[in-house]
């Protein structure tokens, strides 16, 4: 019987509601939940493709020790024994957990309780350190708590929305669509985008401020000064609810308008327009994300923004306030349970003796961590130095995502005992595990997550647990029991953990802490299963309702007042003669983190199928790189080789490269191997968006493109990039030297059965080689080689994997690389939801579709998640401009 289950998307921090429908035959479809207040039925391209990522290909289904299949009892006994022995011999700080914003709150709670309360160390940190810890530090400095004051509705109610360090269109697409819809209804609403790149988000902007990297503090310090001089300060709010205003103004009062212009590189008119808009518009929301957080001055950037909102009293009221956009689906839930090394559970402070005592009494633990633990970068440095001897990594891939990634990999490889809990058997990190534990994935596990607006939602299972896979909380609890703490880890279900989490939030909390979900302390399993999304705080006896903080003060410092923070702008440029470019790393629209989930989807890989670097045309020309050529990016820490994407959206002297690709999908594209381990002094967050690098043309003697039914095996090329495709796989290649036997190379890489002979040709003059292998009417693999990047139509070639090739003429057309007139090439994919290519959009524009809406009506492109609408608009503008010439 068909069943529909309401759950929550496992991607970004928007926290969209999803309905997963399981048909009688087990087939799964997903759709947006129209009742969920985060998305009201909308989904982005990644969320829409979730059903394509839940297969069991590549899953780890049984515990392993040293690559040998074993039982849970043997594996967990070994984990508990090694951790207990290490603690006994070297102390509690010789062990560590490195966890993830992909964990559910219940998993996070158990990990934090075990490490801080029962091991007695705070050496538990999370990959949320890499994305949100500067916001946490900034909130705590200003508010006395890690509190996000507003809610998503504020973006729709504001008259001015400032997006700084946020590519909202690609990284939080559903929020972008809510903002775009609000702006369409109220054209007077203004949007300002602050970003060195002209991202797709900038296409909605009334004003795009392309500041130099890491000059945000100067920009907002100048704004603070302008607010004072223009009379925009809310004197009553400042006097009643804040302290430190005079000191904060004294720190920036000497920052002149001219100095801001010099530091940021902006035009005077742009800067004046921005300052005037902010000063004269009451309903202002400032959204910030990784471009603010991932900086050596990230915490100061956050407080520079908060200073401006505190000065104007524009906080906690409808359509007003600063808004931190969370990167991960449960980074907020992790912060609630104290998942960061410098926090305690329920938003309590590890440096506060009363809080430590309170948590220890609640947990009835033998001790409590008395000092902050090691933050992510320091934690892996301690592993490298041998100070941490036992390490448990859960639901994250630090060999790809950490800065100085090669050094992190070397540290993990050398660690005496490494446990990894994951769902995939082969990742860049699992290959170094002594013990590998199979976890439940999305659709199998049960628990809660918290999104960017403090809304707690359920993730519910709709699939059976595969093999021996078990929940992360269960793994941790079993180890806790085996270490002698059975009574403290005696839960039978996640509902019991959530109830304990809720009880701790309200324990001795008479309004002194922001996080309180005491209304759910007595929740039983049936109530937990029925739990609908709610926004905290929700103390005992209070009905669920949308809420904001700080409109009337009520901050969480001891005196109840917010703190202005005195900040001085710092120089942002790190380049020199040897490393003259600034590398900015980040996310793209259709991939997620290290691709362990999104890389399974052919649809998501169709938009951008290989690692790339955006270069300005003049920079590309100066280093001798042509469009679709290869570029080598190097810093003192490492190198990466990626495809060149030449675009005027990129500023001169800057390079953008995504962080997703890894050794499972490319030869040498782990961009975080290039990023040094420079961190913010307060938050410990790495500076991933301002890296001094050199860039040069990567020389190859030949290039190739291939499609195959079977997953390619060890391509053995100077450059390769692999992606899932409809019906099989696609592979981009470059070779440093000739291969004597190309047919033999193809047989090995594409696992061609013995006896299958290729159809093809070789042109000695041009260097072109084309080979195709058929099994009856079915194409097994096709290989196209040339001296320059291969010009064959990619999507057309991929479609041949599913085509019938009984006709010999069709086989020769494939080898020639030419689509027939009856099968035109759709071009590179623009709309992943409906598989619409650029050539189809261009044809629609030439046929009279001169708006995004008209293209959507003709092709459906842009009508589902809307993530591609800005790109479609750019194509339309380009076509119309060309036609006008």
pLDDT tens string 489-510: 999 999 999 999 999 999 999 8
Whether the CB-CB separation of 459 and 449 falls below 8 Å is answered with yes
- 143 has a pLDDT exceeding 90: yes
* 68 or 880, higher pLDDT: 68
Please report the sign of the dihedral spanned by the C-alpha atoms of residue 663, residue 666, residue 671, residue 674.
positive
**What is the pLDDT, as a whole number, of residue 1?**
78
User: Is residue 402 scored above 90 in pLDDT?
Assistant: yes
Q: Considering only CA atoms, which of 328, 354, 433 is closest in space to residue 67?
A: 433
Model confidence at 257, in pLDDT bands (50, 70, 90)?
A: very high
The answer on pLDDT for 461 being more than 70 is: yes
Cβ–Cβ under 8 Å, residues 613 and 683? no
Average pLDDT, the chain: 95
Q: What percent of the chain has pLDDT over 70?
A: 100
Q: 472: left (phi > 0), else alpha (psi -120 to 50), else beta?
A: alpha
pLDDT class of 207 with cuts at 50, 70, 90: very high
Arithmetic mean of pLDDT, 687-705? 97
Band of residue 570 on the pLDDT scale cut at 50, 70, 90: confident
Tell me what pLDDT residue 821 has: 63
Higher-confidence residue of 466 and 807: namely 466
Q: Note the pLDDT of residue 396.
A: 98
Q: Is the pLDDT of residue 488 over 70?
A: yes
Say whether pLDDT at 871 is over 80: yes
Beta carbons within 10 angstroms of residue 276's beta carbon:
12
**DSSP letter, residue 532:** P
Chain-centroid distance of CA 786 in Å reads 36
**Helix residue ranges, H only, 531-640:** 602-605, 617-623
The predicted model gives 718-744 an average pLDDT of 96
Q: Reply yes or no on whether the pLDDT at 122 is more than 90.
A: yes
Q: CA angle at residue 332 from 326 to 337, to 5 degrees?
A: 160
Q: Report pTM.
A: 0.96
Residue 828: band (very low, low, confident or very high) from pLDDT cuts 50, 70, 90: confident
Predicted local confidence at residue 242, as pLDDT: 98
- Listed residue (364, 383, 449, 361) closest to 125, CA to CA: 383
Q: What are phi and psi of 882, to 5 degrees?
A: -65, -40
Phi, psi of 582 (to 5 degrees): -105, 120
CA nearest neighbour of 161 among 205, 197, 227: 205
Range with the lowest mean pLDDT among 238-242, 682-686, 787-791?
787-791
Tokens of 499: 């109830």
Structure tokens at 652: 């001169």
- 323/306 Cα distance (integer angstroms): 10
Sign of CA dihedral 689, 691, 696, 700: negative
Q: How many angstroms separate the CA atoms of 175 and 172, rounded? A: 6
- pLDDT-based confidence at residue 569 (cuts at 50, 70, 90): confident
């Amino acid at each position: 019987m068909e069943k529909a289950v309401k759950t929550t998307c496992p991607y970004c921090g928007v926290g969209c509601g999803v309905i997963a429908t399981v048909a009688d035959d087990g087939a799964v479809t997903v759709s947006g939940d129209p009742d969920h207040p985060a998305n009201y039925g909308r989904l982005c391209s990644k969320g829409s493709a979730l059903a394509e990522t839940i297969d069991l290909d590549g899953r780890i289904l049984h515990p392993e020790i040293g690559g040998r299949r074993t039982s849970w009892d043997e594996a967990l006994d070994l984990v508990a024994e090694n951790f207990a022995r290490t603690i006994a011999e070297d102390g509690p700080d010789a062990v560590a957990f490195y966890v993830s914003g992909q964990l559910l709150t219940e998993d996070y709670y158990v990990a934090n309780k075990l490490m801080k309360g029962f091991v007695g160390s705070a050496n538990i940190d999370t990959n949320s350190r890499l994305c949100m810890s500067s916001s946490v530090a900034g909130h705590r400095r200003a508010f006395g708590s890690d509190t996000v004051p507003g809610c998503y509705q504020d973006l729709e109610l504001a008259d001015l929305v400032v997006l700084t360090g946020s590519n909202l269109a690609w990284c939080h697409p559903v929020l972008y669509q809510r903002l775009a819809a609000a702006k369409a209804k109220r054209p007077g609403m203004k949007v300002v985008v602050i970003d060195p790149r002209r991202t797709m988000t900038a296409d909605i902007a009334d004003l795009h401020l392309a500041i130099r990297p890491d000059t945000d503090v100067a920009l907002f310090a100048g704004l603070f000064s302008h607010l004072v001089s223009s009379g925009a300060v809310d004197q009553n709010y400042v006097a009643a609810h804040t302290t430190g205003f005079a000191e904060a103004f004294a720190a920036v009062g000497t920052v002149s308008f001219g100095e801001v212009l010099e530091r940021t590189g902006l035009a005077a008119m742009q800067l004046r327009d921005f300052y005037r808009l902010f000063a004269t518009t009451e309903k202002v929301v400032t959204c910030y994300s990784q471009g603010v957080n991932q900086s050596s001055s990230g915490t100061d950037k956050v407080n520079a923004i908060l200073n401006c909102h505190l000065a104007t009293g524009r906080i906690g009221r409808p359509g007003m306030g600063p808004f931190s956009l969370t990167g991960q689906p449960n980074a907020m839930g992790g912060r609630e349970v104290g998942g960061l090394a410098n926090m305690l559970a329920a938003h309590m402070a590890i440096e506060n003796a009363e809080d430590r005592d309170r948590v220890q009494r609640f947990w009835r633990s033998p001790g409590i961590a008395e000092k902050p633990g090691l933050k992510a970068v320091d934690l892996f440095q301690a592993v490298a130095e041998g100070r941490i001897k036992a390490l448990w990594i859960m639901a994250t891939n630090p060999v790809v995502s950490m800065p100085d990634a090669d050094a992190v990999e070397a540290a993990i490889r050398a660690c005496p005992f490494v446990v990894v809990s994951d769902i995939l058997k082969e990742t860049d990190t699992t290959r170094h595990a002594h013990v590998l534990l199979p976890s439940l994935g999305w659709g199998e596990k049960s628990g809660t997550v918290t999104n960017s607006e403090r809304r707690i939602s359920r993730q519910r299972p709709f699939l059976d647990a595969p093999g021996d896979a078990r929940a992360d909380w269960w793994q941790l609890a079993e180890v806790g029991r085996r270490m002698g703490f059975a009574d403290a880890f005696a839960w039978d279900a996640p509902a019991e953990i959530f109830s304990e989490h809720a009880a701790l939030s309200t324990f001795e909390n008479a309004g002194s802490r922001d996080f309180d979900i005491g209304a759910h302390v007595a929740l039983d399993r049936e109530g937990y299963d029925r739990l609908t999304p709610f926004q905290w705080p929700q103390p005992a006896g209070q009905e669920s309702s949308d809420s904001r903080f700080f409109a009337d003060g009520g901050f969480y410092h001891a005196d109840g007042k917010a703190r202005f923070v005195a900040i001085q702008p710092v120089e942002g440029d790190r380049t020199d003669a040897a490393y003259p470019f600034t590398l900015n790393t980040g996310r793209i629209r259709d991939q997620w983190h290290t691709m362990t989930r999104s890389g399974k989807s052919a649809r998501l890989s169709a938009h951008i199928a290989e690692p790339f670097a955006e270069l300005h045309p003049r920079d590309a020309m100066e280093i001798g790189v042509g469009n679709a050529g290869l570029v080598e990016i190097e810093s003192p820490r490492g190198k990466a080789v990626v495809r060149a994407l030449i675009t005027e959206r990129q500023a001169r002297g800057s390079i953008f490269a995504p962080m997703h690709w890894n050794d499972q999908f490319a030869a040498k594209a782990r961009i975080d191997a290039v990023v040094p381990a420079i961190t913010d002094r307060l938050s410990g967050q790495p500076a991933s968006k301002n890296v001094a690098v050199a860039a040069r043309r990567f020389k190859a003697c030949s290039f190739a493109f291939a499609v195959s039914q079977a997953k390619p095996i060890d391509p053995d090329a100077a450059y390769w990039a692999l992606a899932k495709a409809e019906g099989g796989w696609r592979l981009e290649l470059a070779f440093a030297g000739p291969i004597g036997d190309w047919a033999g190379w193809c047989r090995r890489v594409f696992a061609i059965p013995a006896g299958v002979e290729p159809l093809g040709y070789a042109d000695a003059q041009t260097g072109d080689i084309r080979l195709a292998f058929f099994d009856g009417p079915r194409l097994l693999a096709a290989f196209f080689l040339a001296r320059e990047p291969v010009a064959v139509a990619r999507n057309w070639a991929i479609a041949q994997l599913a085509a019938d090739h009984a006709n010999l003429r069709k086989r020769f057309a494939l080898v020639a690389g030419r689509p027939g007139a009856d099968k035109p090439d759709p071009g590179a994919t623009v709309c992943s939801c409906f598989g619409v290519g650029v050539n189809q959009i261009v044809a629609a524009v030439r046929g009279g579709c001169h708006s995004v809406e008209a293209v959507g009506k003709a092709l459906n492109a842009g009508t589902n998640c809307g993530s591609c609408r800005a790109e479609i608009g750019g194509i339309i503008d380009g076509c119309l401009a060309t036609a006008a010439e």
